[in-house]
Amino acid sequence: MTSDTRQPLLDAREVTVRFGGLTAVDAVSARFMPGELVGIIGPNGAGKTTFFNAISGVTRPTSGALSVQGRELAGKGPHRFAAHGLARTFQTPRTFGDMLVRDNIAFGLKFAGRRRREYLFWGDEVGVPWVLRTPDSILGLIGLSEQADLPAAAITPSQQRLLEIGMALATRPRMLLLDEVAAGLTENEVEEMARLIRRLRDELDLTVVWIEHAVTTLLRHVERVIVLHQGRKIADGTPAEVVKNAEVIEAYLGDEMGEAEEHSEEETTA
C-alpha cells in the first residue's frame, strides 16, 4: 500500500479526554483525509461521542493535538472548528421546532454568510456548490422539499435527522461529522440514510466521519473503520480487515461482527 502524502483534513494526535478520574478517550490518534468516508464503531461506553466532541471543539481535550488543514485548534471553541469547515450532528437532533423547516436551513446559511467569502462579479459565491446556495436547493438534496413550510416540530423523527444534516450542510462544510444519524430509524430508513450519506460525500466532495450502532449497515457503506473500546483505538482499517480483527470480535462478543463479516464476504463474492 502506498502512503498518502496529502495533508489530512483533520489530524488528531494522542487525544485524551478525562472527566475526573475517568478516562473517556485514551490517547486516540486518527487522520482523516479529504474525500474519505470513515465509520467509527465501538460498544456502548467506548468513547465514540466523547471523541467526536473533542474533534469538533465541543469538549476540550485534556491532552493531545488537533489540527484542521494544518491549523492547530485543540482547546478552541466549536465555532472555530465550524469556521474551518467542520459541521456535525448530534445523537438527539438539534433543530428549531417552532421555526419552519425552510427557516432552519436558512439559519445555517446565515451562519455560513458570516464567514469571509469571495464573490464573482454577478454575486455568486466562489467555490460553493450550486446545491448548497439556497434553502430550497438544500431541502431538495436531502429529500425534504415537501416539508419546507411545516414547523420543524411537526415532521417525523427520521425527517428531523435529515433536517439536522441539511442545517449542517448549509454551513458549507468540508467535513461532516455524523453522530448516530440512524438511531431510532427503521431498517429501510437506515439503508436510505446510508445511501444519502454516501451520495453527499460523492456529490459534494466531503470528508464524512460517521458514528453508528447499526454496525452492519455502516460497514457496508464506509471505506475505512476506526474501532474504539474502553476509550482506546483498537483497530483502523478497511471493513474487511476490521471484521476479522480478533480484538474487535472480542470487544463485540462476536455477535455483531459475525453478522457484519457475513455481509462483507457476500459483497466480496458478489
What pLDDT is recorded for position 256? 58
Contacts of 269 (CB under 8 A, 6+ apart): none
- Burial state string for 4-18 with b = 16 or more CB within 10 A and e = fewer than 16: eeeebbbbbeebbbe
Q: Where in the chain is the domain with CATH 3.40.50.300?
A: 10-85+173-269
Per-residue model confidence as pLDDT tens digits over 217-240: 889 999 999 999 999 999 999 999
CB 75 within 8 A of CB 60: yes
Q: What is the DSSP letter of 47?
A: S
Section 86-92 average pLDDT: 87
CA distance 125 to 141: 19
- The number of beta carbons lying within 10 Å of the beta carbon of residue 86 is 25
pLDDT tens column, 128-179: 677 888 899 999 999 999 999 999 999 998 999 999 999 999 988 999 999 9
CATH number of 10-85+173-269: 3.40.50.300
Q: Are strands 232-237 and 224-229 parallel, antiparallel or unpaired?
A: antiparallel
- Report how far residue 86's alpha carbon sits from residue 179's, in angstroms, rounded to the nearest whole number: 13
Burial class (CB in 10 A: 0-12, 13-18, 19+), 41: buried
End-to-end CA distance of the chain: 24
Which pairs with CB-CB distance under 8 Å and at least 24 residues apart come from 128-131?
128/172, 129/203, 129/204, 131/203, 131/204
Q: What predicted TM-score, i.e. pTM, was given to this entire model?
A: 0.85
The whole-angstrom distance between residue 91's C-alpha and the CA centroid of its chain comes to 11
Across the chain, mean pLDDT equals 85
